[in-house]
């Protein structure tokens, strides 16, 4: 009689192992949620709100207390205002205690009332931009301290709050309508795609070419490999400044060389003319990031079994045939991964373009547009909407890549 065996993964031991695995993964999941997921959800939330930089601080009442006048015209003034010019603040009250040695000399009128030395004012709702001023004539005893000390001794307590546009549940498509309105967005999207596609492909091709050159053993090979890594490891500010100086139309060495060789009659503004500026920032992207592709491709090349090339030599295969029929099929996997990573990183690239051109001369990409919307014109909601568009573009690209390209490459 055979005993029943529980299915794999459903026994008590398997359940304990699963609970232990989730417990070990919990710190990682929590860290990822706090660092990545929560900010991402916050950006999506803000993108559906007409949120500007001035809305970072919710509307609230602001009061300033001062002692003015002298002699018989001495008075305490409370200057009250709404911090917002558009949104009303409800439940506005002021509570204060008059300092000892200070006595009101006239009746307190609404909306204020005085009981002993305790002052209370109820303003109800302050409309956007509304200001109020309270004057209380007072007299000071002869033994009282200085005027400044009397005022500093009484700090008014202020209440009142207004709706926070960032935390309420009112949503709008205004930001996305502004992003997609007109032809500006589509021009920026085209620039982004040009920069990303050609920058990615160029970095892969140049990395492949460099790997082919250094896939042989020769004297000084280590030094040359280290030299190839310089564009990638050098500080981006340093190399960007070097490129801008090198191609400067007035003092750049490149222009001086072109003019002296007779290739150009006048200096060329490489980073200030359309479409040359876009081509130059794309070339800079290729030059700066090809070493990453070079490292991965070279490592994969050196892991290919050399017996295939020896057999191809015996069959009389040409170098191009060995490269196309033997090397490329072995490199397709790493090339696909590099294409995915470089496409995403280049699509999100901001610092290179901003340092080279500032997004001018037809080089404004979506990431530069996020900066301009959110900080240059203080429209954080529109900047978040552009960021969400970038996210959607990358998700669509990733879906196409994993749905079609990765299947063909066996990834």
Query: Which residue(s) pair with 3 in the sheet?
Result: none
**What local confidence, expressed as pLDDT, does residue 178 receive?**
83
Query: Which residue(s) pair with 34 in the sheet?
Result: none
147 touches 76 (CB < 8 A): no
Name the residue among 166, 158, 162 with its Cα closest to residue 89. 162
**Residue range 9-21, pLDDT digits in tens:** 567 888 888 889 8
- Segment of 49-53, 110-114, 148-152, 188-192 carrying the highest mean pLDDT: 188-192
Classify 91 in phi/psi space as left (phi over 0), alpha (psi -120 to 50) or beta. Answer: left
3-state SS assignment for residue 364:
coil
182-378 to CATH, choices 2.20.25.90, 3.30.70.2190, 1.10.3720.10, 1.20.1600.10: 1.10.3720.10
Percent of the chain surpassing pLDDT 90: 30
**Residue range 375-384, pLDDT digits in tens:** 888 888 889 9
The H-assigned helical ranges of 229-327 are 230-233, 236-246, 253-260, 276-302, 306-314, 319-322
Structure tokens at 312: 């191809």
Q: What is the mean pLDDT of residues 90-116?
A: 83
Residue 39 has pLDDT above 80, yes or no: yes
Give the helix/strand (H/E) hosting 91: strand 89-97
Strands laid side by side in the 157-161 sheet: 112-115, 118-126, 89-97, 157-161
Distance between CA atoms of residues 309 and 232, nearest Å: 32
Q: What is the mean pLDDT of residues 100-126?
A: 83
> Model confidence at 271, in pLDDT bands (50, 70, 90)?
very high
Q: What is the DSSP annotation of 276-300? A: HHHHHHHHHHHHHHHHHHHHHHHHH
**What local confidence, expressed as pLDDT, does residue 245 receive?**
92
**What local confidence, expressed as pLDDT, does residue 170 receive?**
83
> Model confidence at 85, in pLDDT bands (50, 70, 90)?
confident
Residue the block writes with tokens 């879906």: 399
**What local confidence, expressed as pLDDT, does residue 218 receive?**
78
**What local confidence, expressed as pLDDT, does residue 278 receive?**
95
301 touches 323 (CB < 8 A): no
> Model confidence at 1, in pLDDT bands (50, 70, 90)?
very low
> Model confidence at 154, in pLDDT bands (50, 70, 90)?
low
Structure tokens at 250: 């007035």
> 138 or 406, which is more confident?
138
Distance between CA atoms of residues 84 and 86, nearest Å: 6
Q: Which residues of 375-407 are buried (b: 16+ CB within 10 A; e: fewer)?
A: eeeebbbbbbbbbbbbeebeeeeeeebeeeebe
3-state SS assignment for residue 80:
strand
Residue 148 has pLDDT above 70, yes or no: no
CB atoms within 10 A of CB 363: 26
Name the residue among 379, 353, 357 with its Cα closest to residue 47. 379
**What local confidence, expressed as pLDDT, does residue 411 receive?**
52
**What local confidence, expressed as pLDDT, does residue 147 receive?**
53
Residue the block writes with tokens 């290739």: 263
**What local confidence, expressed as pLDDT, does residue 67 receive?**
79
191 touches 364 (CB < 8 A): yes
> Model confidence at 116, in pLDDT bands (50, 70, 90)?
confident
**Residue range 325-367, pLDDT digits in tens:** 888 888 988 999 999 999 999 999 999 999 999 999 899 999 9
**What's the mean pLDDT when you consider all of the chain?**
85
- List all residues 6 or more positions away from 296 whose beta carbon is below 8 Å from its beta carbon: 207, 334, 337, 338
CATH code: domain 59-161 is 2.60.40.1170
Residue 70 has phi, psi (to 5 degrees) of -160, 160
Distance between CA atoms of residues 364 and 190, nearest Å: 10
Any idea which of 15-24, 64-73, 156-165, 344-353 has the lowest mean pLDDT?
64-73
- List all residues 6 or more positions away from 251 whose beta carbon is below 8 Å from its beta carbon: 245
**What local confidence, expressed as pLDDT, does residue 367 receive?**
93
Residue 145 has pLDDT above 70, yes or no: no
* Peptide bond preceding 275 in cis form (omega within 30 of 0): yes
∠ Cα 121 122 125 (to 5°): 140
Residue 144 has pLDDT above 90, yes or no: no
Domain parsing of the chain, residue ranges: 59-161, 182-378
β 112-115/118-126 pair status: antiparallel
Any idea which of 50-59, 244-253, 351-360 has the lowest mean pLDDT?
50-59
Distance between CA atoms of residues 165 and 382, nearest Å: 14
Q: Is 164 exposed, middle or buried (0-12, 13-18, 19+ CB in 10 A)?
A: middle
**What local confidence, expressed as pLDDT, does residue 74 receive?**
81
> Model confidence at 7, in pLDDT bands (50, 70, 90)?
low
**Residue range 117-139, pLDDT digits in tens:** 788 999 889 888 889 988 888 88
Q: What is the mean pLDDT of residues 287-311?
A: 90
Q: What is the mean pLDDT of residues 100-108?
A: 77
**What local confidence, expressed as pLDDT, does residue 344 receive?**
94
């Amino acid at each position: 009689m055979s005993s029943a065996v529980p299915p794999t993964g459903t026994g008590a031991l398997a359940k304990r192992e699963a609970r232990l695995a989730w417990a070990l993964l919990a710190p990682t999941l929590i860290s990822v949620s706090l660092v990545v997921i929560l900010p991402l959800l916050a950006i999506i939330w803000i993108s559906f709100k007409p949120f500007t930089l001035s809305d970072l601080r919710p509307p609230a009442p602001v009061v300033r207390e001062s002692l003015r006048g002298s002699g018989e015209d001495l008075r305490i003034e409370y200057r009250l205002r709404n911090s917002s010019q558009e949104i009303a603040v409800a439940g506005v009250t002021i509570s204060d205690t008059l300092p000892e040695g200070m006595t009101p000399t006239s009746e307190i009128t609404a909306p204020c009332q005085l009981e002993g030395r305790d002052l209370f004012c109820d303003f109800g709702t302050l409309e956007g931009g509304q200001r109020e001023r309270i004057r209380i004539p007072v007299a000071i005893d002869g033994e009282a301290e200085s005027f400044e000390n009397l005022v500093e001794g009484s700090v008014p307590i202020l209440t009142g709050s207004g709706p926070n546009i960032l935390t309420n549940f009112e949503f709008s498509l205004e930001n996305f309508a502004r992003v997609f309105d007109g032809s500006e967005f589509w021009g920026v999207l085209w620039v982004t795609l040009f920069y990303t596609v050609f920058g990615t492909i160029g970095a892969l091709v140049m990395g492949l070419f460099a790997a082919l050159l250094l896939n042989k053993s020769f004297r000084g090979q280590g030094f040359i490999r280290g030299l190839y890594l310089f564009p990638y490891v050098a500080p981006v500010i340093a190399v960007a400044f070097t490129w801008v100086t090198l191609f400067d139309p007035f003092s750049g060495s490149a222009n001086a060389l072109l003019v002296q060789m007779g290739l150009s009659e006048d200096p060329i503004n490489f980073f200030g003319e359309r479409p040359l500026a876009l081509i130059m920032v794309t070339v800079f992207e290729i030059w700066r990031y090809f070493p990453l592709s070079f490292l991965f491709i070279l490592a994969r090349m050196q892991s290919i079994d050399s017996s295939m090339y020896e057999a191809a030599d015996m069959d009389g295969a040409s170098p191009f045939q060995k490269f196309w029929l033997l090397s490329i099929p072995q490199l397709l996997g790493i090339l696909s991964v590099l294409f995915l990573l470089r496409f995403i990183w280049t699509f999100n690239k901001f610092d290179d373009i901003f340092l080279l051109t500032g997004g001018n001369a037809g080089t404004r990409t979506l990431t530069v547009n996020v900066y301009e919307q959110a900080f240059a014109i203080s429209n954080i909601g529109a900047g978040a909407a552009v960021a969400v568009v970038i996210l959607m573009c990358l998700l669509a690209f990733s879906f196409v890549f994993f749905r079609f390209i990765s299947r063909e490459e066996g990834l």
